[in-house]
Amino acid sequence: MPTAFTGIFKRGFGTFPLRGEELKSAVRTAAEIGYRAFDTAQWYGNEADLGGVLPELGIDRASLQITTKVHPHNMSVDKFMPSVEQSLRDLKTERIDVLLLHWPPNDNPVEPSLTLLQEAYDKGYAKHIGVSNYTTTMMRAAVRCLDTKLAINQVEFHPLLNQDKVLATAAEVGISLGSYCSIARGEIFKYPVLGEIGESHGKSTAQVALRWIVQKGVALNTMSTKRANMRSNFDVMDFVLSLSDMQKIDALTTAGYRISNAATVPFAPTWD
Ligand SMILES: NC(=O)c1ccc[n+]([C@@H]2O[C@H](COP(=O)([O-])OP(=O)(O)OC[C@H]3O[C@@H](n4cnc5c(N)ncnc54)[C@H](OP(=O)(O)O)[C@@H]3O)[C@@H](O)[C@H]2O)c1
């Protein structure tokens, strides 16, 4: 189901680091469970695998939402459009539903790559455009320089990281947020309070973390190779965390656990 503001689906299935048969099998299972939004990137090297399996699912193309992201190395004038055209061919689609810039150019100006993204939109290559890993300063710069509204900023978002500033600025400038590393790649399981809250709702630790993200108004991206985990990550719309639950989880954000940083990604900017 799309979010109220931007048309971005609320639950997406991530595909990193899956490739080949492992990706295809995971996507088939995810689609059976009900996922209709699939997240890939030029960087993941799996767009052709995703493009190969989607037509086999027997799902009307209009019901699917494919997100892909332009590789940071393709953000020059000569490489940008050919890379997007290759993504279209690999994904076997005439239009990408959500086309993102994967990373900003560290702390350098964002306008040149945003101009190329706008051109791709103007050519009809994307239904929605957005960014990923943008800071508050970058989001403000983006709305100043673009003719088209950015649908989404996909950022690391989970209970062990305080993203209040990014969330507040996104709301202020009219960009929705999407999550990645939503269960902090398993780190959340070290925090028993999530399980305790889950017990009172008949839900798991992961479901509590994901529901906290949903109640922050952020669209989810999760990835799993296991049917049970995929199912569990999808079933987060049928319960509500109380204010007290939310506050207990908010308190975990002081952990300051960040997976994507300058040590792990060479394009990372200085975070808010
Ligand atoms: N824009 C960006 O820069 C960026 C960066 C990173 C990721 N992403 C996107 O976001 C997606 C999700 O992020 P992520 O995969 O890095 O991190 P994640 O969702 O926090 O963690 C995925 C890991 O958690 C396990 N898992 C998933 N659900 C579980 C559950 N309910 N219980 C226990 N374990 C569970 C999975 O293992 P099992 O297979 O064993 O379930 C997998 O190893 C990616 O696939 C990618 O599409 C985007």
- Residue 107 located in a structural domain: yes
Identify the three-state secondary structure at position 205: helix
Instruction: Provide the mean pLDDT of the chain.
Output: 96
pLDDT > 70 fraction of the chain, expressed in percent and rounded: 98
Ligand 1 centre to CA of 144 (Å) is: 33
Q: Which of 155, 180, 213 to mutate to test the pocket of ligand 1 (most atoms within 8 A of CB)?
A: 180
- State the average pLDDT over residues 49-62: 97
Identify the CA nearest to 27 among candidates 229, 182, 230: 230
The percent helix, strand, coil of the chain (3-state, each to 5) is: 45, 15, 35
The burial class, CB within 10 Å (0-12 / 13-18 / 19+), for 76 is: exposed
- Residue 203 located in a structural domain: no
Q: Is the pLDDT of residue 95 over 50?
A: yes
Ligand 1 centre to CA of 157 (Å) is: 11
For the annotated catalytic residues, the residue numbers are 44
Q: Is the pLDDT of residue 6 over 70?
A: no
Q: Which ligand 1 atom sits nearest the alpha carbon of residue 186?
A: 24
* pLDDT tens digits for range 101-120: 999 999 999 999 999 999 99
- Residue 209 located in a structural domain: no
Q: Which domain CATH number covers 147?
A: 3.20.20.100
Q: Which of 13-17, 40-44, 260-264 has the lowest mean pLDDT?
A: 260-264
Residue 55's domain comprises 11-184+217-224
Nearest CA to ligand 1 atom 37: 224
Q: What are residue 220's DSSP bridge partners?
A: 11
- Residue 19 located in a structural domain: yes
**pLDDT value at position 4?**
41
Q: Which ligand 1 atom sits nearest the alpha carbon of residue 232?
A: 31
- Residue 239 located in a structural domain: no
| Number of structural domains found in the chain | 1
- Residue 47 located in a structural domain: yes
**pLDDT value at position 2?**
41
Show Cβ contacts of residue 14 under 8 Å, excluding neighbours closer than 6 positions: 39, 180, 221, 222, 223
- Residue 128 located in a structural domain: yes
* pLDDT tens digits for range 126-146: 999 999 999 999 999 999 999
pTM of the model: 0.97
> DSSP assignment, residue 9?
B
- Residue 189 located in a structural domain: no
Q: Is the pLDDT of residue 245 over 90?
A: yes
Nearest CA to ligand 1 atom 36: 224
